[in-house]
Amino acid sequence: MKKYLLFNFLIFFSYAQSGIEIAKMVDLRKIPKDQSNITKMVLTNSKGKQRTNIVRSKSMDGNKKQIMWFMEPRDDKGVAFLKIENDGKDDEMRMWLPAFKKVRRISSKKRGDSFMGSDLSYEDLSNRKIADHDYSRLDDQTLNSKLCYVLEISPKKGA
């Protein structure tokens, strides 16, 4: 009996999953209702100069609502970003700019723009919809002694 279970276990995990199957598996994982974290983002320009951002974030309602506060560098301290996902319509995105004492709405046309000088766009901060993307599985890689799937995710035309 033990050999049979082990064999089934090995078959299950040795099955070559496609990119879309892995993406669906990730979407089905349990996520906490609320979570908070502090993230360090190191930006490196083409000349090799680095800039470090420290961001505190809080997500609520299964990541449908998120607020981020920039703590460092000093130039960006106090900048805040709010994202509220709305089913069936555009997400609401706003940014508090303390230097101007104003809240700026991020319009749909600006969603592809760079987020705080990084390679991320505002659109990257939204939860992705599986049907709006194509998924290619690349070669697996080992990270911290763990074998990891690597996917290339591209938006579908018109999505």
DSSP 121: B
| pTM (2 d.p.) | 0.64
Domains of the chain in sequence order = 32-127 (2.50.20.10), 133-159 (no CATH)
What contacts 24, CB < 8 A, 6 or more positions away?
130
pLDDT digit string (tens) for 70-114? 999 898 899 999 999 887 777 888 999 999 999 999 887 877 777
* Alpha-carbon span 98 to 92, nearest angstrom: 20
Give pLDDT < 50 ranges for the chain. 1-12
